Structure 1
Amino acid sequence: MGIGGWVDSSGDKYSRMVNNRASRAHFVQQVIGFIEKYGFTGLDLDWEFPSFPHKNSFSTPATASDKNGFSMLLAELSAVFKPRKLHLSAAVSPDSVVVDAAYDVPGLSQHLDWVGLMAYDYHGPWDRKTGHVAPLHHHNGDVSPRFNVDFSINYWLSKGLRKDKLVLGMPMYGKSFTLANPSNNGLNAPISGPGRGGPITNAGGTLAFYEICSSVKRYHWNIKRESDGSMGPYAFKGDQWVSYDDISDIKKKSELIKSMGLGGGMVWTPAFDDFKNTCGCGRYPLLTALSSTLNGGPAPHVRNCAS
């Protein structure tokens, strides 16, 4: 069972709950009752983010005590989950600034079965220029050395998270942009706003992988990759531009999980993968790449899949 998410995290309800002992106890009691009634195997908490103002709700204050309150909530949940053999996890920010403000990392490492690192949305239309949604390594053109998967993993580990509890998140979507000048179509190009919504998802600034691979295959979007291999591809046509991870990038990140001895991989969201084999690489090619790399088995071919 999951609670939270970007939209649900606006407002102060989670802050008020974690900072009040009686409210925490009531929450724990209600969660246990709901889990046992409906047969769930655990709880994933996705509060975005403790002790940090919500970007979509500037009226939501940053409360420093959230950090300790969240850690206390996890300890209290863990105390009742473990005897029942229930799983407890949390989705967390990849940004070191948020990590320092929001999380008692040793406490999370102690009380959680795993920590889902949301290693995506490093860049988007809010930057007012093009950028990659989930770069694996730092790129010389990036404004900050911290906006990449490699930095985020190592920062969390340096703060005390057990590596076998870190589950690396990967995007099944791309961040899209509308170019200010279609002839200026590289990284860090000025934009006029988010990209147009896709034909199915209809969400400005975001395209599902199946929408991206369809645009590449059917409408012949141009694909570019940086020569240093620091990030996945980006594709563009006219004034529309999108960055994303393809099969080879998912495999590369999955291989990193194995080589570092991390806890595993997760995705947001399976519904954005090419579940109908629209683009000719089989059903769920990104999920298949993740699973086959971590568990062994045949990997999907890359041809004609937005690569």
Structure 2
Amino acid sequence: MTQESAVSRIATPFRTLALGAVFLASLGGCSGPGDVPTSDESLGAVESPALATRVVGYLPTWAGNVDTLQYGKLSHINYAFALPTAQGGLTGVSSSDTRLRSLVTKAHAQGVKVLIAVGGWNDGNDSAFEQMAGSAGTRTAFVNSVVNFVNAVGLDGVDIDWEYPDPGTSGNNYALLMRELGTAMHTRGKLLTAAVVANGYTGGGVPASVFSDVDFLNIMAYDGGQPHSTYDLAVQSLNYWKGRGLPASKAVLGVPFYGRSPSSYVGYSELVARDSQAPYKDNVGDVYYNGIATIQAKTRLGLQNGGVMIWELSQDTSGSTSLLNAIDSVAQGTGGTGAYRLVNKASGRCVDISGPSTADGAIIHQWACHTGASQQWSMEATDSGYYRFVSRHSGKALDVKDASGADGAGLQQWTYSNGSNQQFKPVDLGNGYVRLEARHSGKVLDVTGCQGGSGDGTLLQQWTWSNNDCQQFRMEAR
């Protein structure tokens, strides 16, 4: 296979475990890789309606607990991974796998569809896919293997995760495989989906003809440099595939439940264990990931298209810090605003609106923290790590008065107009606090004269960063 650039070779990093983990699974809990038995057995009658919004979660064979999954917050679960053989068989997961069968029963009881994901990163080795797809005979054998597996377990379809067919012969063979597999799945009332690269050269290995053969594509909009999964990359990825003719309704935006540094991959739950403020920002040291606000901004973007996909479910937390809960609050329309109180380190008081007023031009000051909406600010991603902070009380945005670039310029609320003076970047300080940098000036949010002591009603301003406690804020989720 041709080597792509680091940016265009968008893979799921934890999928590098897939090959070893699948082999361990086949040696440990399964009956062996061999031929897939044919059966029409069906597991788990559908009793409850599925989530109306498409939220697709991958569950790896080597991690996660099927008894504790939040099924009601998912529409589809992709069980990852089975592996193709060059001769057209399937290996790695047996149709008698008790964990998979339990997953199907529990998911179907809540109206959630389950697919088998075939492939994965496999340390970049896609030779089995290449050989199998290159021959009509082995393609037919593979299609039959998938049909038999899906029927035997009572699955709802298959997700093909070939990483990656190259443009040319490889891509043409991929298209033939997907056409044949799509026909086999759809005539049986089953789904065919595929995981695809975010954009770039390798994207060309998925011909546009495939778009009509799949129910939707899971776009792996992560691992795109450092930071590896920005909001900008999400937008670019969706635009790339839709620009090639993929219907928006079939473009499912992938989001990561893990972070990356230049030398490591770290699950979101581990990041939260390291830093209690991790849910409210996008990096812990040099590990970059998607916190709650970014996940919710991406969810809103995904819902304007075909939905959201998650790699992968076992890396989440529970309760108020859960990323799946954050996605669900947007998907269900029950919140999803990513709202926070901004608590000043020096004074312990919260950023608040004078009055509290709902008018343009109302000044921003600090006040003793309370539970009112005037101290709750929804973080909504713009681009490049910047956010607008929108008041839950007024619906207006935090704004540097007159778009001034000077030290001492005051803060106010104002109807959002996409101004750079209304966009702020939270910069992690490594101590549980952030500084909030104004995009237009590079200056930071600051409590006026707070080093001499300050109380309720002290005004907020912007000031050159000087690393004092007046300029540091703790973000508390509401």
Deviations for 1:4-51, whole angstroms, at most 9, x for unmatched residues? Answer: 101175141100111100110110011101111111110001010002
- The alignment status of 1:176 with 2:273, answered yes or no, reads no
Matches within 5 A, 1:110-125: 110-123=212-225
The partner residue of 1:132 within 217, 227, 235 is: 227
> CA RMSD, aligned part only?
2.4
- The alignment status of 1:266 with 2:369, answered yes or no, reads no
- The alignment status of 1:234 with 2:283, answered yes or no, reads yes
- The alignment status of 1:290 with 2:290, answered yes or no, reads no
Matches within 5 A, 1:147-226: 148-177=233-262, 194=263, 205-217=264-276
Q: Report the TM-score when normalising by structure 1.
A: 0.69
- Which of these two proteins has the greater Rg computed from alpha carbons? 2
Partner of 2:60 in structure 1?
Answer: none
Question: Contact 2:126–2:164 at 8 Å: present in 1 too?
Answer: no
C-alpha distance in structure 1 between counterparts of 2:269 and 2:339, whole Å: 16
C-alpha distance in structure 2 between counterparts of 1:38 and 1:17, whole Å: 23
Question: Contact 2:199–2:241 at 8 Å: present in 1 too?
Answer: no
Q: How far off is 1:95 after superposition?
A: 2.5
Instruction: State the AA in 1 paired with 2:295.
Output: I
C-alpha distance in structure 2 between counterparts of 1:99 and 1:168, whole Å: 15
C-alpha distance in structure 2 between counterparts of 1:306 and 1:108, whole Å: 45
C-alpha distance in structure 1 between counterparts of 2:207 and 2:126, whole Å: 22
Per residue, is there more strand in 1 or in 2?
Answer: 2
C-alpha distance in structure 2 between counterparts of 1:306 and 1:42, whole Å: 41
Q: How far off is 1:302 after superposition?
A: 5.8
Partner of 2:294 in structure 1?
Answer: 249
Q: How far off is 1:257 after superposition?
A: 2.0
Q: How many matched pairs?
A: 229
Question: Contact 2:126–2:162 at 8 Å: present in 1 too?
Answer: no
- The alignment status of 1:19 with 2:134, answered yes or no, reads yes
Deviations for 1:133-178, whole angstroms, at most 9, x for unmatched residues? Answer: 20112xxxxxxxxxx221111011111111100110000000024x
Q: How far off is 1:306 after superposition?
A: 9.8
Per residue, is there more helix in 1 or in 2?
Answer: 1
Q: 1:306 to 1:171 in 2, by over 3 A?
A: farther
Question: Contact 1:116–1:168 at 8 Å: present in 2 too?
Answer: yes
Deviations for 1:247-277, whole angstroms, at most 9, x for unmatched residues? Answer: 100110111123xx311101000111114x5
C-alpha distance in structure 2 between counterparts of 1:83 and 1:233, whole Å: 44
Q: How far off is 1:233 after superposition?
A: 2.2
Q: 1:19 to 1:70 in 2, by over 3 A?
A: same
Partner of 2:179 in structure 1?
Answer: 75
C-alpha distance in structure 1 between counterparts of 2:327 and 2:214, whole Å: 23
Q: Specify every segment of 5 or more residues in structure 2 that has no aligned partner in the other structure, as ranges.
A: 1-115, 342-431, 433-474
C-alpha distance in structure 1 between counterparts of 2:340 and 2:122, whole Å: 34
Q: How far off is 1:98 after superposition?
A: 1.2
C-alpha distance in structure 2 between counterparts of 1:257 and 1:272, whole Å: 20
Instruction: State the AA in 1 paired with 2:207.
Output: D
Question: Contact 1:174–1:206 at 8 Å: present in 2 too?
Answer: yes
Instruction: State the AA in 2 paired with 1:111.
Output: D
2:253 aligned counterpart, secondary structure: strand
1:84 aligned counterpart, secondary structure: coil
Partner of 1:45 in structure 2?
Answer: 160
C-alpha distance in structure 2 between counterparts of 1:167 and 1:306, whole Å: 30
Give identity over the alignment, percent: 28
Q: How far off is 1:73 after superposition?
A: 0.7
Partner of 1:183 in structure 2?
Answer: none
